Amino acid sequence: MKVALVAGELSGDRLGAALIEGLRARVPDLQCFGVCGERMRAAGCEPWASIDELSLMGIAEVLPALPRLFRLRGWLIERLLAERPDVVVGIDAPDFNLGLERRLRERGLRTVHVVSPTIWAWRQGRVKAIARAVDQMLCLFPFEPAFYAAHGIDARFIGHPLADQLDDRMTQVEGRRALRVPDILSLAVLPGSRAGEVGHLMVPFARAVRHLTTIMPDLQVLTPIAKPSLRAPIETVIRSEAPGVNWRCFDGRTRDVLRAANAVLLASGTATLETLLVGRAMVVGYRTSALTAWLLLKAGLLKTEHVSLPNLLADRPTVPERLQADCNGARLADDLLPLLTSGDARAVQLEAFRSVRDQLAGGAGDRAAQAILDGLPV
């Protein structure tokens, strides 16, 4: 059996390696090749190109790379049509992979895409393009297959690899020891990994901290800085909005910071899933430009009842979500206070988180391998 894989980002390399291992356990004479990273190569994937080719962030990186990406896609199409694998598996990188998959499917190759784009939340019209591109969609979240089924697309839930990598057994004491910070009441603040997010969220987050420290002056605040360019804007806001607060910033170390915290204030995004999986109670805040907010909230582009992943996965309002004007210092502090002072308030969230973990865990790579084999024509 021959399988072509085209993976983007480090997370795609991890999932691709787990998928290869799952396939090889079922198909010993498996041949794998394509765009891969170190983990996929170690699992036996023949590298045609490096995963770094597709690991781009933001328009500033993507635009200069477009000619190279178009050449790479054309070369892959030509080589894959000559090789004729039994299935082509695109892992994440939807802007690159869905176009590749559509062209290959039109020429008779079976295509599978792993990791659904978040079109179920907005831009639902893109599902028509996905239907033309893939024979099968493998989804990380349990609520996604029903959306695709309604549009006639074969979709399977495989679980999320993070649920097998992260656990909630590390105590706050151990997390603080790893960071070398005092063993005292701690709040983690994560204002996002993009400059735009930090620009919108850091001020209301810092004002929430200032409110809290009037009630609990010894509160320790911990922030992981996602990339060096964000340190200056984050620290500038801390100095102006929360002077004198015991606030420590770290280069990276997100998971250590989460584990050290009694509660977490953070932007909506993947970090909310990590927070859920390490077992920390949270409040989610999000702000965006006025135009984007109007399109999402008023013009009806947002198609989900909830915004944050914990609430979407639990299918109920488990964690507080504060959006736009509601995302302000006073409201956020009111939501955080019981999580910092009451074990019962934290326990309500953590009970729901354990149920979500049970759904997501169980070997995403193994489930993906079986789904791909089940979908092959007999």
**What angle, rounded to 10 degrees, do the helices at 270-277 and 343-360 form?**
100
Contact 56, 95 (CB under 8 A): no
> Per-residue pLDDT for the chain (378 aa), expressed as one digit of tens each?
999 999 987 778 989 999 999 999 999 999 999 999 999 999 999 999 998 887 654 445 567 778 888 999 999 999 999 999 999 999 988 889 999 999 999 999 999 999 988 765 445 567 888 999 999 999 999 988 998 998 899 999 999 988 988 888 889 999 999 999 999 999 999 998 878 888 889 999 999 999 999 999 999 999 999 889 999 999 999 999 999 999 999 998 999 999 999 999 999 878 899 999 999 999 999 877 555 554 555 545 445 566 788 988 988 889 999 988 889 999 999 999 999 998 899 999 999 999 999 999 989 999 999 999 999 987
Q: How far apart are alpha carbons 352 and 347 in whole angstroms?
A: 9
Contact 11, 94 (CB under 8 A): no
Q: For the chain, which domains are there?
A: 2-161+363-375 (3.40.50.2000), 172-360 (3.40.50.2000)
Over the Cα atoms of the chain, what is R_g?
22
Q: How far apart are alpha carbons 264 and 377 in whole angstroms?
A: 47
Q: Which two tokens stand for residue 353?
A: 């988180």
Q: What angle do CA 198, 9, 137 make, to 5 degrees?
A: 105
Beta bridge partners, 322, equal: 285
- HSE, side-chain direction, 13 A CA sphere, residue 270: 12
Contacts of 358 (CB under 8 A, 6+ apart): none
User: Would you say the pTM of this structure is higher than 0.85?
Assistant: no
Closest CA relative to residue 365, chosen from 8, 9, 15, 2: 15
Other Cβ atoms closer than 10 A to 189: 27
Q: Which two tokens stand for residue 6?
A: 């085209």
Q: Which two tokens stand for residue 36?
A: 């891969």
- HSE, side-chain direction, 13 A CA sphere, residue 124: 13
Q: Which two tokens stand for residue 233?
A: 């804007």
- DSSP three-state, residue 305: coil
Identity at 67, one-letter amino acid code:
P
Q: How far is CA 236 from the centre of its chain?
A: 27
Contacts of 196 (CB under 8 A, 6+ apart): 288
Closest CA relative to residue 284, chosen from 318, 244, 245: 318
